Amino acid sequence: MGTGRPEFGPPEGAEELATAADIDAQAFAMSLADSTAWLEKAGPANLRVLRERGTVMATALPIPMGQWYGGRRVAMAGIGGVGVAPGARGRGLATRLMRHTLEELRSVGFPLSVLYPATQPLYRRVGYEQAGSRFEIRVQAHALDFEEQSLTVRPIQSSDQAALQEVYRRHASTRQGYLDRAPYIWDRVANPRKETAYGFLVEGSHGVEGYTYLVRRRMVDLKQEISLTDFVAITPAAGRKLLSFLGEHRSLALEVVWNGGPSDPLLFLLREQTYQVKLLFHWMMRVLDVPAALEARGYPAGVSGTLHLEVADDLFPDNRGSFILEVSGGTGHVQRGGNGLLRLDVRALAPLYTGFLSPEALRSVGALVADDASVRLAATLFCGPAPALPDMF
């Protein structure tokens, strides 16, 4: 019997929040206590549930944040916690849940949404596509034999947080796809679940130039693995100093591990290729508002051009049709119309937008139809470093 509650919305009361925690505990193989703590940390106000006959049957956790593209921040909602009650799976509830979630996010002004998929077909049905990567970087500790004396290392204190966030922002804004972190993500960096992270920064005469948070994981025979929940250097000296500091752990540590993109420039400093770079995930993006997304990101400053797009989108009618993207001075402006020389659906727009796949690569697999001139222009407009995400959410 129904309760009069809407099919979709935030949980109402402690009972629904507890039901949502139980669904996520089963979906993600966590204890109920861990699931409850996770939802509390992420913010119950962010949680969304899908009800069937008044009972919570599915959950999603959209978290407001941003991403950097072309040196500009684009508002983005990261989606986590998508779970369906075990007895209700296979009935299309996850698709309905995601449609409601995306409609709400678009209505409040988010041009983009990103997630890490447990399964791709579900998210492709609602318009997501692979748009970037997350890599694990493993460096043998004995190879970190640097000596850098120009900076000092000290433990991070609570009063350093504003400076650290500014250093991170300067670093992230030069990387394609890196997060403009929400407080929830910063908390995951400094307080990883069931582990203790120790923060250290490097500073010179002009202030903080880099920092890291590290977790010491015990292995066999008293050896350790040093896992970095964050690793940022905005000057060459800071990079060398942090690598030197990490190398000082080599009497006990076998490897130092962190996450990032496929070509971390710090690896260029190593004398030998004493490291491994392994793909962990391809994350997926959904363009929620085509004109807003195209206007929000940055473009190469020295490039001008007009690209005619035609976009298909089964979910949002306002995303369908022809658009003209005019780029100059690093900024894009969009208007309706044009001749639609470059045609693609909203899924293929995601890897084009981030630079994950070139327009020629998309054309080669039939995800994009365009003349050669449009392909060349699109390649120039959307070029940049490979999009990556060190953070999970």
pLDDT digits (tens, 9 = 90+) for 87-145: 999 999 999 999 999 999 999 999 999 999 999 999 999 999 999 999 999 999 999 99
Could you report the per-residue pLDDT of 213-259, keeping only the tens digit for each?
Answer: 999 999 988 899 999 999 999 999 999 999 999 999 999 999 999 99
pLDDT at 4: 77
Contact between residue 49 and residue 16 where contact means Cβ atoms under 8 Å apart: yes
Could you report the per-residue pLDDT of 316-358, keeping only the tens digit for each?
Answer: 999 999 999 999 999 999 999 999 999 999 999 999 999 999 9
DSSP 37-72: HHHHHH-GGG-EEEEETTEEEEEEEEEEEEEEETTE
pLDDT at 150: 86
Cβ burial, residue 69 (10 Å; 0-12/13-18/19+): buried
pLDDT at 78: 98
d(CA 376, CA 301): 17
pLDDT at 55: 97
**Which pLDDT band holds residue 267 (cuts at 50, 70, 90)?**
very high
CATH 3.40.630.30 domain span(s) along the chain: 8-127, 135-280
CATH 3.40.630.30 for domain 135-280, yes or no, is yes
Question: Residue 1 above 60 pLDDT?
Answer: no
> Could you give the maximum distance between any two Cα atoms of the chain, in Å?
71
Domain 289-381: state its class: alpha beta
The domain 8-127 is classified under which CATH number: 3.40.50.10800, 1.10.3720.10, 1.10.150.110, 3.40.630.30? Answer: 3.40.630.30
Q: Find where tokens 């962190």 sit.
A: 258
CATH 3.30.1050.10 domain span(s) along the chain: 289-381
Alpha helix (H) residue ranges in the chain: 13-27, 32-42, 93-107, 120-125, 161-172, 183-190, 236-247, 290-296, 346-354, 359-364, 372-381
Could you report the per-residue pLDDT of 270-327, keeping only the tens digit for each?
Answer: 999 999 999 999 999 999 999 999 999 999 999 999 999 999 999 999 999 999 999 9
Could you report the per-residue pLDDT of 25-35, keeping only the tens digit for each?
Answer: 999 999 999 99
pLDDT at 2: 52
**Which pLDDT band holds residue 3 (cuts at 50, 70, 90)?**
low
Question: Which of 14, 308, 285, 255 lies closest to 127 in space, CA to CA?
Answer: 285
**Which pLDDT band holds residue 64 (cuts at 50, 70, 90)?**
very high
